[in-house]
Amino acid sequence: MAGLVLVFISAIFFPGLILRTKSITSGRKGPGVLQPLRDAVVLFRKGSVFSTTTGVIFQIAPVISLASVICAILLVPFGHQPALIHFRGDFVFFAYLLAIGRFFLIIGALDTGSSFEGMGASREAFFSMLIEPAFLILMATFSMFTGLVSFTDIFSHFFITGDHYVLIFSIIGFYLFIQTALIENSRLPVDDPKTHLELTMIHEVMILDYSGFDKALIHIATWLKFAVYGSLMYNVIVPAEWNIYLQIILFLTVQSLFAIIVGLLESFRARNKMNKNPKFILTVSAIAILAFTVILILNLNLNL
């Protein structure tokens, strides 16, 4: 339960920390850390407007997207505390939960009948399809490394395997989770959330027709998705047996560091050309395959 509360707290401050980082690096005063939350409250007070060309899919997509992310959070452990829901192979279920929310946003965009939103939905589906193998291969690597097959068991025993390669794979996992989170949430270098040109937009063009309450739900789902990936990063670099109070401090530190990294990337890195994105995403998957291959070779050598 502590992990669930910490993820929600992190999600509240995460987008504000990104904005503050970008403001500081550009020499501007900028908005406060809580400004995105204030914007969400304003959206909650507004009514939703639905086009006559949309159907029920468009209306329920934001709710399903948020619900899928919240359910995914329940599968992620915190320190020595097991996840609220855990079972063998739960990381595969985790990936499919996030995919369900993304799928409904995609078909919700198609439901509008807009060519621009359909184009963004096509890119979202394509890039998500390319990055999903990286996540599953990384988790398969951790599973083979520990001999366990659930989030709770893997992260509880990851640092007590006695293997000298733990640090290396912690760094690789941290890097791959960052890249996966950026691609899943359509951030730089794959997409620029601040762009206003429909031809080059991905996620933002998909939600152009949403307003008020429904748009707030979509934003909150994005914040929570960032926070849950930050929770995964925390689990691969902090041993589960450490003191609970130290873990809480480190959890918030990792989440803040993740937000600052995103802000720095968006301040100093340009967006990739659209035709470069598949190559970039496949490179991330290639790094995951490389880690998997190294673990496979090590296990084969130990068994010989």
Distant-in-sequence, close-in-space partners of 94: CB < 8 Å, separation ≥ 6 = 72, 75, 76, 151
**Domain span holding position 234:** 2-303
Do residues 190 and 184 touch, judged by C-beta distance below 8 A? no
266's tokens: 């968006």
At residue 2, the pLDDT reads 81
- Mapped onto helix, strand or coil, the DSSP state of residue 46 is coil
Do residues 11 and 226 touch, judged by C-beta distance below 8 A? yes
**CA 6 to the chain's CA centroid:** 16
Provide the number of structural domains found in the chain: 1
Q: List phi, psi (to 5°) of 36.
A: -60, -35
Distant-in-sequence, close-in-space partners of 191: CB < 8 Å, separation ≥ 6 = 201, 202, 203, 204, 271
Largest CA distance in the chain: 66
Dihedral-angle region of residue 27 (phi above 0 means left; psi in -120 to 50 means alpha; beta otherwise): left
Q: CA 285, 17, 195, 104 torsion: positive or negative?
A: positive
pLDDT by 10s per residue, the chain, length 304: 788 899 999 999 999 999 999 999 988 888 889 999 999 999 999 988 898 889 999 999 999 999 999 999 999 999 888 999 999 999 999 999 999 999 999 999 999 988 889 999 999 999 999 999 999 999 999 998 888 999 999 998 887 655 667 888 888 899 999 999 999 998 888 988 777 776 778 888 899 899 999 999 999 999 999 999 999 999 999 988 888 899 999 999 999 999 999 999 999 988 888 889 999 999 999 999 988 888 888 777 666 5
Q: Residue 114: in which H helix or E strand, if any?
A: none
Q: Tokens 């669930």 belong to which residue?
A: 4
- Mapped onto helix, strand or coil, the DSSP state of residue 10 is helix
Bond from prior residue into 189 cis (ω within 30 degrees of 0)? yes
